[in-house]
C-alpha cells in the first residue's frame, strides 16, 4: 500500500469561474487563497484536482512510516 499524499496549494482566485469549480475548491478542504492541505492520493482526489488544476499547485509527498514501538524491548537481554 502506498503512503503517497498530495500537498495541494490554492494559488489562483476562483473569481470568474463557475460555482461548480468553487465548490470543488471547498471540497478539497481549501478555505482561503494561498492555503495548503494534504490529501490522500486517491482517484477521487485526483479527479477533483484535474477539474481545477489551473487554480492549484500540487506536490506529491511520501509519508514516513511510524517507528515501531516496543519491538526491540528484549534485544538487550
Query: 4-62 belongs to which CATH class?
Result: alpha beta
Q: Taking the model in full, what pTM does it have?
A: 0.77
Q: What is Dmax (Cα atoms) for the chain?
A: 68
Q: What are phi and psi of 28, to 5 degrees?
A: -75, -10
Mean pLDDT score of the chain: 87
Neighbour count for residue 38 (Cβ, 10 Å)? 13
Task: Give the pLDDT of residue 3.
Answer: 81
Q: What local confidence, expressed as pLDDT, does residue 64 receive? A: 60
Please count the other Cβ atoms lying within 10 Å of the Cβ belonging to residue 75: 6
pLDDT single digits (tens) 24-47: 999 999 999 999 999 999 999 999
pLDDT of residue 68: 55
pLDDT, residue 59, reads 96
The distance in angstroms from the start CA to the end CA of the chain is 34
Amino acid at each position: 500500500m502506498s503512503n503517497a499524499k498530495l500537498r495541494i496549494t490554492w494559488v489562483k482566485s476562483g473569481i470568474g469561474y463557475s460555482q461548480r469549480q468553487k465548490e470543488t475548491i471547498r471540497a478539497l478542504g481549501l478555505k482561503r487563497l494561498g492555503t495548503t492541505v494534504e490529501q490522500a492520493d486517491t482517484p477521487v482526489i485526483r479527479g477533483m484536482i484535474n477539474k481545477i488544476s489551473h487554480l492549484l499547485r500540487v506536490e506529491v509527498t511520501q509519508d514516513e512510516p511510524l517507528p515501531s514501538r516496543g519491538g526491540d524491548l528484549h534485544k538487550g537481554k
